[in-house]
Amino acid sequence: MTQLIDTSAVPDVVLEAGRLFEAAGHDLSLVGGPVRDLFLGRLATDLDFTTDATPDQTLAVVKGWADAVWEIGRDFGTIGMRRGDMQLEITTYRAEAYDPTSRKPTVAFGTELAEDLVRRDFTVNAMALRLPSLELVDLHGGVRDLHAKILRTPGTPESSFDDDPLRMMRAARFASQLGMDVAPEVLTAMTEMAARLEIVSAERVRDELVKLINGIDPRRGVEIMVDTGLAQIVLPEVPALKLETDSAHHHKDVYQHSLTVMEQAAGHESADGPVPGPDFPLRFAALMHDVGKPATRRFNDDGGVTFRHHDVVGAKITRKRMKALRFDNDTIKTVTRLVELHMRFYGYGEAGWTDSAVRRYVRDAGDQVERLHLLTRSDVTTRNKRKSQRLAHAYDDLERRIAELAEQEELAAVRPDLDGQQIMEVLGIGPSRTVGQAYNFLLELRLDEGSLGQEEATARLLSWWEDQQQGSQTGE
């Protein structure tokens, strides 16, 4: 299929690169995602090209034109560069395949554009724009499939996934990112070959997972992973949420509930709000918030079911999984904290909280309080409108009280009225475990009663110290 694309939609740097390679006697084509995005009306800032030039020849062509060049992908035929605000990667035509026992692709350079395109992951990414003529090369129906919103592979799905098993996960990611359906034959191959994903490095899997969760339809992406068995390799805790039921015991479908919470959490994000989207920690915490339920499920004699401490257990399970996927420590800490605290709000509507309980809620959430607000609200999926409204009103009230107390004090950084140095001066002691005990005593006072002022705090500290000394003398 040959088609011309309006040159006004193509960045100037693309045409410049095309003319440079043409003058040097080499072919150059824009390829993959940037071509797909031209049809979707999106402008890519990271541009992928393919060429018949070797890496050494590419370096010679762009010398003096590129503002910066890096050769980290040279062994795979890729030369990266920056021109103005644009990032470019130019890769020699290639034939790429996975050794069945290796996590890294073996690369053989090709000589023809057609040979390169057939080895791309999906037809919508197997289109090329020859440069500088802007002739569209679409040998596998990429435009057709893009309009139909369906994911197919240029060759057989089996050969594509054998070349790179991560492409199976990428199919689920594109379903989430682009709102596309996966062709039946592709789903069949994914199901049959899911175990091949085990040879892919944790880092590559993690990166695809983040993109999937941050897509416009993360629920669809997760469902595809679960239905094909990919999730059993990547996130086995999620399919485990499909708790079995029987005629004697009935409880909420935890798997579907978790998907709905993730959807609702994404819907709460806003560009001008405290949690702009897409926000991976919020969405992933929403997906994982109940993963502790299978391990904590207990049936009562009356047919009821409980999941005591599933929040704490779930946080531990989530931390272990995220470490296995090589997430950074800050992201692990954020997500697991949200999972651990997601049940803290419940009970507020019935019993109400003291000011000290509100302070503890904010203190424990720390800098994640805004995400916790959204996660807690997203966790309400009941169809009972009265219950839903009651919970919403209760949380409205909690947020109002947090705001009121925040006007009086810096809740997110609640500290005692005396610091460690002052404690040592008042008690006439040096650094020791006793200083920490005194600090915790004053912190509890601060949470229960608010700021006492240094004079009152000093008096309370001395009284506590006297009690401690009397207790040690009597052996208590």
Tell me if 94 sits within 8 A of 119, measured CB to CB: yes
Query: What does the alpha-carbon distance between residue 156 and residue 119 come to, in Å, rounded to a whole number?
Result: 10
365 touches 341 (CB < 8 A): yes
Q: Which structure tokens are listed for 415?
A: 């500290």
Question: Over the stretch 297-308, which tens digit does the pLDDT of each residue have?
Answer: 888 777 677 788
pLDDT digits (tens, 9 = 90+) for 212-249: 999 999 999 999 999 999 999 999 999 999 875 544 44
Q: What pLDDT was estimated at residue 1?
A: 39
Cα separations (Å) of 431 from 330, 425, 441, 457?
30, 11, 16, 20
Q: What pLDDT score does 99 carry?
A: 60
Q: What angle is formed at CA 90 by the lines to CA 109 and CA 41, rounded to 5 degrees?
A: 125
What one-letter code names the amino acid at 381? T
From 92-101, 108-117, 377-386, the region with the lowest mean pLDDT: 92-101
Instruction: State whether the Cα torsion 230-234-238-239 is positive or negative.
Output: positive
Inter-axis angle of helices 202-213 and 280-288, nearest 10: 100
The fold of 149-234 is Hydrophobic Seed Protein (1.10.110)
If one compares 90 and 365, the residue with the highest pLDDT of the two is: 90
Is the pLDDT at 78 greater than 60, yes or no? yes
With a cut of 70, say whether residue 101 has pLDDT above it: no
Peptide bond into 278 cis (omega under 30): yes
430: its two tokens: 């040096």
Instruction: Report strand pairing: 181-182 vs 305-306.
Output: unpaired
Provide the pLDDT confidence category of residue 385 given band limits of 50, 70 and 90: confident
Rg (CA), the chain: 29
Q: Is the pLDDT of residue 98 over 60?
A: no
Taking residues 391-419, what's their average pLDDT? 77
Give the pLDDT of residue 395: 82
Look over the chain and give the mean of its residue pLDDT values, rounded to a whole number: 87
Percent residues over pLDDT 70 in the chain: 89
What is the domain class of 1-142 according to CATH?
A: alpha beta
Q: Where are the domains of the chain?
A: 1-142, 149-234, 253-413, 420-474
Provide the pLDDT for residue 349.
60
Structure confidence at residue 255 as a pLDDT band (50, 70, 90): very high
How many Cβ atoms from other residues are within 10 Å of residue 26's Cβ? 17
Other C-beta atoms lying within 10 Å of the C-beta of residue 111: 11
Query: What is the number of helices (H) and of strands (E) in the chain?
Result: 23, 14
**Is residue 250's pLDDT more than 60?**
no
